[in-house]
Chains A and B, each alone.
Chain A
Amino acid sequence: MASPMTYGQALSLASVPVPAHLQASAEVPVLLGVQAQGDLLIVPLRMAYDGGHRVPAWPAGNPVGAAGVQVVRGESTGNTHWLHAGFDSPGVAFHSAGTGQVVGVLTVPAGQTAMLIHTDEHGANGIGPGTYEIRRKREQAHKPRLVED
């Protein structure tokens, strides 16, 4: 079972100082359900599609590796979201899906954890075993367009 990770440990993976509103020694909550980080939504795959829509057959993805994966780039702010494996979690994998609403698909094997880390104020979200879509927002004005972080 993967050991818990603190904010200090998680944010150091992305070389980011702990924001003032978080305690460095506090554990990052690791959740299995829907979570939001800024404009991103982490959704368990089965929940992202209701009865009328088929779940896409996403490819397996690649291990995120020690350097992590830059999941999305914040255009207005220069801030980014980084995906890293938690402790003892070599099987965490990410498939980058391109420029549509689905940013990518995250797979966390049993007993392991992943960390989604923000380089500015959002801190970190811990993700437990499962398969998840990471989605970005869209706006309606003019025509539907993707929200820039």
Chain B
Amino acid sequence: MGGAVTGSPRVTSLTHKQEERLREIRDEWLAVQVSTDLADRPAAEEGIRAAYEAAGFGAPDFILWMSSPYAGAIAASIAPGIICAISHSVPDGGLAGLGDHTLPCGSFEDQFDFVNRQVRLQVRGQVGDRTYAPVWYRVAGIRWAVDDQVRAQVDTGVRDWVDAQVRNPVRNAGDQVNLRVFTSIDDQVRGRLGQWRAGKSRNEAPYCSYAAAMRELGVHGLEPIAGGLQVARHAGWWWALEDFAVVTDRPELLERDIQGRLHCASGPAIRYRDGWGFHAWHGTRVPAGLIEDEPWDLPRIVRERNGEVRRCAVERAGWERLESQLGAPVATAPDPGNPGRHLALYDPPAGLYETPVRLVLMTNGSPDRSGAERRYAETVPAEISNPLTAQAWAYGVPEAAYAATQRRT
């Protein structure tokens, strides 16, 4: 990797047209991050081979395809052992897309065996005494050399603009999905596989968007990351190990809310073609039953140990349904400025909240878009004994001020 081309001009500022083009690049990578298209396997494999070469390795002997990052994580962790153990028969026939089969439901052991079989069947050829070590740090390490090129050719102000306008928006959007996928896999395999080959959250898109932006600005010496960019554009997570790679397909279903968080009120929020996936409510992973079953009642909600999941269950059920399960209110009062509506103060059931609180229930001042009156609940200190005091506390004003509310919209 040579230095910057001598005499090439530094990029010191951006034209309006360049800014527009860079925003387009940002949007391209935002779309790539949430794509549910089938991976382009030849393109991804070509990218993988180029990435290995750029890192100074020969092309990998095997490229193993799995249909989900979960199966991929297991495969990347167990494949070295399998490859060492396999004896030298070369199966005939082509490399069938065996990673496409469906993960069995049931125990981790069943799924482990399934992936074990998949890897064995996809691997052919030689056995060695080699130890297979993750070489991701070398393949990813290309970045640092590339960053040197960028620093040498692009002024700080421009780099900061690209970070703020391209890379960070891509990262923030991507994190919404990738961190949930990562922790979901981690929860399921940690303790079974020990240190699985997680690396980081495996989302290459933010860095790719940054590199693509720099390429667009004419920065030289970026060829080494071309392979990595190509894989990120055409496939899902992947792992680079010595002599072989594990690469995964993209999800077949990915549902998000208006803020870009994983969310689906009618089924899994994310699902891959081997069946792996999970449910989510406005960015929180939740058990399937929270979405698929009838909304939980208060006793069921209180049994849930995770506070964030409880909050989701409450939101899904809605206070219109749950209020009657609270028992008698501590006190009620007409809501000033909100004619015909009332406030109600309750003691919540034990275990619903982590600290002592009371709940004040109120009705919206304007119907929502569906025309519905909604009931909302907010928490206030447990010492509060009437709903007007509760609302006044919530706004931080004297009770007389809240009581004087003339109009609520």
B353 at the interface (CB under 8 A from A): yes
Total of A-B residue pairs, C-beta within 8 Å: 109
Q: Is the CB of A34 within 8 A of B282?
A: no
Assuming the contacts A41-B397, A140-B355, A142-B355, asked whether A36 and B407 have C-beta atoms less than 8 A apart, the reply is yes
Q: Which residue of A lies closest to B384 (CB)?
A: A140
Question: How far in angstroms is the closest Cβ of chain B from A117?
Answer: 10
Q: Which of B6-14, B135-143, B228-236, B364-372 contacts A (4 or more CB under 8 A)?
A: B364-372
Give the interface SS of chain A, mostly helix, strand, loop or mixed.
Answer: loop
Residues of the B chain whose Cβ atoms lie less than 8 Å from the Cβ of A143: 355
Q: Which of B365, B378, B405 contacts A122 (CB 8 A)?
A: B365
B-chain residues with CB within 8 Å of residue A125 when the two chains form the complex: 407, 409
- With A21-B367, A137-B394, A140-B355 as contacts: A36 and B408 at CB distance below 8 Å: yes
Instruction: Determine the distance from Cα of A108 to Cα of B307 in the docked complex, in whole angstroms.
Output: 44
Interface residue? A101 (CB, 8 A): yes
Task: Identify the closest chain A residue to B258 (Cβ).
Answer: A78
A25 to B307, CA, bound (A): 46
Residue numbers in B under 8 Å from A33 (CB-CB)? 404-406
Residues in B362-409 with C-beta less than 8 Å from chain A: 364-369, 371, 378-381, 394-398, 400-402, 404-409
Residues of chain B within 8 A (CB-CB) of A76 are: 259, 282
Contact (Cβ within 8 A) A147 B401: no
B129 at the interface (CB under 8 A from A): no
Q: When A20-B371, A140-B380, A141-B379 are in contact, do A35 and B259 touch as well, CB less than 8 Å? A: no
**A49 to B354 Cα, complex, angstroms:** 31
Using an 8 Å CB-CB cutoff, how does the interface string of A105-149 with B read, 1 for contact, 0 for none?
A: 000000000000010111111000000000111111111000100
Residues of A within 8 A of B402 (CB): 34, 41
- CB-CB under 8 A from B337, the residues of chain A are 34-36
Residue in A closest to B404 when the chains form the complex, CB atoms = A34
* Partner among A20, A36, A136, A147 whose Cβ is within 8 Å of the Cβ of B365: A36
Which residues 110-159 of B sit at the A interface, judged by CB distance below 8 A? Answer: none
A contact residues, total (Cβ < 8 Å): 39
B317 contacts A by Cβ under 8 Å: no
Residues of B within 8 A of A123 (CB): 366, 409
Q: Is the CB of B355 within 8 A of A48?
A: no
Q: For residues 3 through 49 of chain A, which have their beta carbon under 8 Å from a beta carbon of chain B? A: 19-21, 29, 31, 33-38, 41, 43, 47-49
A124 with B405: CB separation less than 8 A: no
Q: Please give, as numbers and ranges, the residues of chain B lying within 8 Å of A47 by CB-CB distance.
A: 397-398, 400-401, 404
Assembled-state Cα–Cα distance A50/B403 (Å): 14
Given A135-B396, A139-B378, A140-B357, A121 and B366 touching (CB < 8 A)?
yes
B337 to chain A: closest residue by CB: A36
Q: Is A99 an interface residue (CB 8 A)?
A: no
Complex formed: what's the CA distance from A137 to B368 in Å?
20
Write out the residue numbers on chain A whose beta carbons fall within 8 Å of the beta carbon of B378. Answer: 137, 139, 147
A residues in contact with B355, CB < 8 Å: 140-143
Q: Is the CB of A77 within 8 A of B404?
A: no
B407 and A31: CB pair below 8 A?
Answer: yes
Q: Are A135 and B397 in contact (CB under 8 A)?
A: yes
Inter-subunit contact B408/A35 (CB<8 Å): yes
Of B357, B364, B379, B406, the contact of A34 (CB 8 Å cutoff):
B406
* Closest Cβ–Cβ distance, residue B407 to chain A (whole Å): 5
Contact B366 A21 (CB under 8 A): yes
The contact of B258 among A77, A101, A118, by CB within 8 Å, is A77
Task: Check B400 against A50 for contact (C-beta < 8 Å).
Answer: yes
Q: Say which residue of A19, A43, A124, A141 sits within 8 Å of B397 (CB atoms).
A: A43
Q: Which residues does chain B contribute within 8 Å of A141, judged by CB atoms?
A: 353-355, 357, 379
Report the separation of the CA atoms of residues A35 and B364 in the bound assembly, to the nearest whole angstrom: 14
Are A34 and B367 neighbours in the complex by a CB distance under 8 Å? no
CA distance A29 to B409 in the complex (A): 11
What is the minimal beta-carbon distance from B398 to any residue of chain A, in angstroms? 4
**Which residue of chain A has its CB nearest to the CB of B371?**
A20
Q: In the A-B complex, list the 7 residue pairs whose CB atoms are closest, starting with the nearest.
A: A141-B379, A50-B398, A36-B408, A140-B379, A137-B394, A122-B409, A47-B401
17 contacts between A and B (CB under 8 A): A19-B366, A21-B366, A35-B337, A35-B405, A36-B337, A36-B365, A48-B397, A49-B398, A101-B396, A121-B364, A121-B369, A124-B409, A135-B396, A139-B394, A140-B380, A141-B354, A141-B379
Beyond contacts A35-B337, A76-B259, A141-B353: 10 other A-B pairs, Cβ-Cβ < 8 A, are: A20-B371, A35-B407, A35-B408, A36-B409, A41-B402, A43-B395, A43-B401, A137-B378, A138-B396, A142-B355
